[in-house]
Amino acid sequence: MTAIPLPPVPEPFRLPFHYGALHQLGVDWLVDPGPVRDLLAKHHPDLSTAEFDDGRALVSLNYQLYFAQYPFGGGITQEIEYNVIAYPTADAGRLPALTYAQYAQGWDQTKLLGIARIHVVCDNPFAIRAGRELYAEPKFPGWFEVALPSLNGPAGETWTVRCNAAGIGPDGDTLTRGGTPLLDLTAALDGLTPVPANLAPVTGYGTTEDGRLLAGPMNVYQPYRWYDLGAPEHAERTRVTVHAPEGDLGRDVRSLLGDTPAAGAWTFQSAPVAAHNRAYYLPAGRPVG
């Protein structure tokens, strides 16, 4: 058998890409598989749609806020992915039979069940270029307004993310913010007990312009936290609002999700590495005696 060469890594990129910190929310929906298959075939013809409970397909919105340290300093990036859970059609015989809950907790150790990226919105022109050139991600510019759980804020587990339209300036390195909102995502996870999920490495799939299928694994060095939202009383905990239904992202979100409640959510937040503590007063004057 002839070995397949690795995809090229063009300058100035270096792999692997190391994250200094990562904060991530994913929300999953179990939906009718027919429209998902059609959408997947349009973007990734060598992938097949995974099926879970009662033959339903799985789609997700995945928000990330991450920090990276470079030789010249630091960079912060936000992005949101719209994904279909899929696998290489040629490897269908290797897949385990799993329920959604089993998949969400990391039972697929083949890692063939991966995220087939349909749309990726990102606020960092350098990361947009890297995603396109290294992983064939369908990445385009946007900017974000968010409210996230934080040790530096009030207690709570509610995530709110607004994704807005943006462009890239003539220099190719500058994001130009637009005034049009694209999508809102809210997940109110307060009061729920998550379970640890051994999801990583997460396989991300992309298809190059010449039709070649790529797989890029992402390691996360601690477990995710998975929230089971399948019970009817959790139906209102997540909400997606499409503000631009005429765009590709808005159209595909509305056509697949409809009014379907989320099946689950998963989060990851990097542990803090230092804390600057509260100040205290020192006595004035010199000691007596």
Residue 191 has φ and ψ, to the nearest 5°, of: 85, -5
Q: What's the CA gap between 46 and 111, in Å, rounded?
A: 16
The residue type of 70 is Y
Which of 97-101, 170-174, 193-197, 231-235 is least confident? 170-174
Other CB atoms within a 10 A radius of the CB of residue 129 amount to 18
- The residues spanned by each domain of the chain are 21-269
Write the pLDDT tens digit of every residue in 97-153: 999 999 999 999 999 999 999 999 999 999 999 999 999 999 999 999 999 999 999
pLDDT digits (tens, 9 = 90+) for 276-285: 999 999 999 7
User: Is residue 163 predicted with pLDDT exceeding 70?
Assistant: yes
- What pLDDT digit, counting tens, does each position of 209-260 carry? 999 999 999 999 999 999 999 999 999 999 999 999 999 999 999 999 999 9
- Residues 7-11: what's their mean pLDDT? 94
- Half-sphere exposure for 201 (CA within 13 Å, toward CB): 11
**Residue 250: is it exposed, middle or buried by C-beta count within 10 angstroms (0-12/13-18/19+)?**
middle
CATH number of 21-269: 2.40.400
Return d(Cα 203, Cα 114) in angstroms, integer.
5
CA–CA distance, 83 with 45 (Å, rounded to integer): 15
| Per-residue pLDDT, 2 | 82
What is residue 289's predicted lDDT score, i.e. its pLDDT?
Answer: 64
**172 vs 124: CA distance, rounded Å:** 11
Tokens found for residue 174: 């500058």
- Angle value at C-alpha 217, between 257 and 13, nearest 5 degrees: 110
Return all residues near 72 (Cβ < 8 A) that are at least 6 apart.
none
Whether pLDDT at 286 is above 80: no
Determine the Cα–Cα distance for residues 245 and 260; give it in Å rounded to an integer: 17
Residue 288, pLDDT > 70, answer no
| Distances, alpha carbon 139 to alpha carbons 79, 118, 120, 142, 182, in Å | 9, 9, 5, 10, 15
For residue 150, what are its two tokens? 């934080």
Question: What pLDDT, on the 0 to 100 scale, is given for residue 285?
Answer: 79
- The single-letter code of the amino acid at 229 is L
What pLDDT, in 10s, does the model give residues 23-58?
Answer: 999 999 999 999 999 999 999 999 999 999 999 999
Q: Is the per-residue pLDDT at 68 higher than 90?
A: yes
Q: Is 226 helix (H, G, I), strand (E, B) or coil?
A: strand
